Amino acid sequence: MPELLNLQQLILPVFRLGQLLKKLFLYTGGCGNGAAMNVTVVNPVATSVVYPMTLIGSHVDKCWGYVGTRNYRADITAQISGNGAYMISGVLTNPPTAGNDMDGASIVVVYSDPTALFCGCIVMGDGCQVGLGGNQTNTLTGFQAPATSTFAQGFYIVSDMQNVGPYPMRMNSAANNFTYPNGVQNWWDFIQATANPVACGQSSFAFGVQSNNDCYNIVLEGMYWRSQCPCTLPVFTPTSNAAICQGSQLNLSTVTSATAPVTYTWTGPGFSSNSQNTLIVNAQPPSSGIYTLFAEPSPSCIIANTIMVNIYPNPTITALANNGPVCQGSPLDINSLASTSATAVYAWTGPNAFTSNTPSNTIANAQPIASGFYSLTVTNTYTGVPYSTWNQTLTCSATAQMSAAVVPISSVGVVPFYTICQNSNLNLSASAAGANYYTWASSTVPQFTSNLQNPTINNISPVSSGDYSVTAYYTSPSTTLICKSYAVSNVSVVPRNPVTPFSSANVCQYTTGTFSASALNAAGYQWYGPNGFNSTNQINSITNIQPVSGGNYTVNTIFTIGTVSCTTTSYIPLNVVPVPSVAVIQSITVCERQEQPLLQMHQMQ
């Protein structure tokens, strides 16, 4: 069965407000074989902790037929929550644990009272010493009394007393100076009585227990005594720079009026130091709590004061992210995730004087100047009590940064319009600052494509008229992202259609010679011929034509788109047949009765 120990009843006569607990030990012992023992302690606030008991000594069996006697101790200082009932379970008994049967248990409380005008000292020795009747003696050493005692008291824990007779005892004495009477003895006894005075400089105490008719087990022996402190005590005031933020340096200092050397001890949550002024580098919130300064201006005269230290957590920036790299002109998203424990303020800074006070942001139409490092500072703001004294404001911050990239692109420079003649060479060109490569594609059928920056189409035909789109590509060495910019060149090919000339071919001198030309979609004609002939008529006539007008007549057929003109040249012959001149000379003389002469004709060549 669990054994209920009422701490309030145990220490109420001496434990008061302002007294400081130094150590609390749980003792148990009895018949046993040294088996491991784990004891559960439940304090008045229902906190349950399991403590492994330390075997502090073993000796012969104390008359019960067991293997031997075993005593145990555990330091349960951390479990104490104040006055009240403490439930202890797990102490070995038989049954159910064969071979082990403990006689009882005690909690020994060691405390100090900073308000007392005396110095108190305590010396304890524990182990296992079995007496099978007769005397058992011990000497405690390892100390030196700083002053002569004004009060001295010895104490024991002894088990298995059987009320078979009185127990003479020694308390700081070479001879018995106290008798524990019959009738009050139990299986487990905590015994205390006035001891011989302690001399200044004394370094050993004599203890002993005597029984003529009983077996017993000594678990613990000790002495407590008091001596006078100096009449006037120095003042010791602990100070700190708290409240502080997580990761800051906690400074603990002592302001004192002492002029002589002083022994100092600082204690706090998971912390101790023997310096008058000390520090904790990179202090964390678990170090918050009460810090006690123990000052010992003279041996065994200890003055204790406390301060409260608060260390508040910084925010934690758990993630920074962006959708970069992005192409110039695209939105750049900047996001964060942070864990905060108070009112939080966000502060972003970045390239191109970027600032923001929201966790997540979007930069629309991002430009290359937005590339670089973005830094986020998240600040927890703790205002007033309990965060800081005198109603100050404490701010704790965390900062993180990330990089984001905007891949630059530029406009593509092209010739917007080409108008060229059929059978010419089309030289396309594109230029974009920073582009890595280009592609071309046309709207024509068949489609033209090219991976050259400045491609050429030789001997172009009208079917190649249309839009020629160029794409400039931009890449970033740190990513697979490809950005693009576009432009279009419109191409018009002026056709040079075939020309069909016609003429009257062979005409006689003095007649009319005709010639003409026809071509699909011709915009005009330009004729050149013999004897300085020129004309812009499609159909031409030369009346009273002469042989000098005979020959080849060249026609330039004109085709136009906009202001661009292209020509197709052809020719046609026109042959003028000369007509010879005939001269008739009539010279006739007729004489009477003479024979009529012949008519003479001469052809002019």
**Least confident segment among 81-90, 349-358, 415-424, 541-550:** 81-90
Say whether both 58 and 195 belong to one domain. yes
Per-residue pLDDT tens over the stretch 403-439: 999 999 999 999 999 999 999 999 999 999 999 999 9
- Judge whether 486 and 412 are in contact, CB under 8 Å: yes
Say whether both 115 and 34 belong to one domain. yes
Give the tokens for residue 274.
Answer: 């023997």
pLDDT band of residue 203 (cuts 50, 70, 90) is confident
Asked if the structure places residue 306 within a domain, the reply is yes
Alpha-carbon distance of 344 to 338, in angstroms, equals 10
Of 454, 487, 520, the residue that ends a domain is 487
Q: Is the pLDDT of residue 8 over 60?
A: no
Say whether both 390 and 476 belong to one domain. no
Percent over 70 (pLDDT), the chain = 90
Say whether both 60 and 168 belong to one domain. yes
Average pLDDT over residues 37-46: 92
Asked if the structure places residue 564 within a domain, the reply is yes
Here the CATH number for the domain that contains residue 431 is 2.60.40
Average pLDDT over residues 559-580: 95
Asked if the structure places residue 168 within a domain, the reply is yes
Block residue for tokens 């010679």: 513
Listing DSSP states for 194-232 in one string gives: E-PPPPTT--EEEEEEEEEEEEEEEEEEEEEEEEEPPSS
Q: Is the pLDDT of residue 2 over 80?
A: no
Alpha-carbon distance of 324 to 209, in angstroms, equals 85
pLDDT band of residue 116 (cuts 50, 70, 90) is confident
Asked if the structure places residue 209 within a domain, the reply is yes
Percent over 90 (pLDDT), the chain = 71
81 phi-psi bin (left φ>0, alpha ψ -120 to 50, beta other)? alpha
Domain extent, residue 467, equals 418-487
Say whether both 105 and 12 belong to one domain. yes
259 phi-psi bin (left φ>0, alpha ψ -120 to 50, beta other)? alpha
Say what the pLDDT of residue 423 is. 96
Closest C-alpha to 346, from 335, 331, 332, 333: 335
Say whether both 294 and 328 belong to one domain. no
Say what the pLDDT of residue 212 is. 82
State how many domains the chain has: 5
Say whether both 197 and 78 belong to one domain. yes
Task: Work out the number of other CB atoms within 10 angstroms of the CB of residue 392.
Answer: 12
Say whether both 142 and 58 belong to one domain. yes
Asked if the structure places residue 112 within a domain, the reply is yes
Strand partners, 139: 206
| CA 602 vs CA 535, 579, 586, 589, 599: distances in Å | 41, 16, 10, 18, 10
Of 378, 407, 436, the residue that ends a domain is 407
Alpha-carbon distance of 560 to 568, in angstroms, equals 11
- pTM listed for this prediction: 0.50
Asked if the structure places residue 268 within a domain, the reply is yes
Say what the pLDDT of residue 15 is. 39
Say what the pLDDT of residue 436 is. 94
Say whether both 122 and 184 belong to one domain. yes
Say what the pLDDT of residue 548 is. 96
Say whether both 77 and 165 belong to one domain. yes
Say what the pLDDT of residue 17 is. 40
Per-residue pLDDT tens over the stretch 298-350: 765 678 889 989 899 999 999 999 998 999 999 999 999 999 988 899 999 99
pLDDT band of residue 253 (cuts 50, 70, 90) is very high
Q: Is the pLDDT of residue 540 over 80?
A: yes
How is residue 314 annotated by DSSP? P
Say whether both 257 and 284 belong to one domain. yes
Helices vs. strands in the chain: H and E counts, helices first: 1, 51
Give the tokens for residue 106.
Answer: 């005690």
Asked if the structure places residue 89 within a domain, the reply is yes
**Residue with the larger pLDDT of the pair 283 and 162:** 283
Half-sphere exposure at residue 313, Cβ-oriented, CA atoms within 13 angstroms: 12
Alpha-carbon distance of 139 to 177, in angstroms, equals 15
Say whether both 222 and 256 belong to one domain. no
Of 227, 251, 269, the residue that ends a domain is 227
How is residue 187 annotated by DSSP? S
Asked if the structure places residue 584 within a domain, the reply is no
Here the CATH number for the domain that contains residue 403 is 2.60.40.10
Give the tokens for residue 196.
Answer: 């011989």
| CA 151 vs CA 144, 176, 271: distances in Å | 16, 19, 34
Q: φ and ψ at 516, to 5 degrees?
A: -155, 175
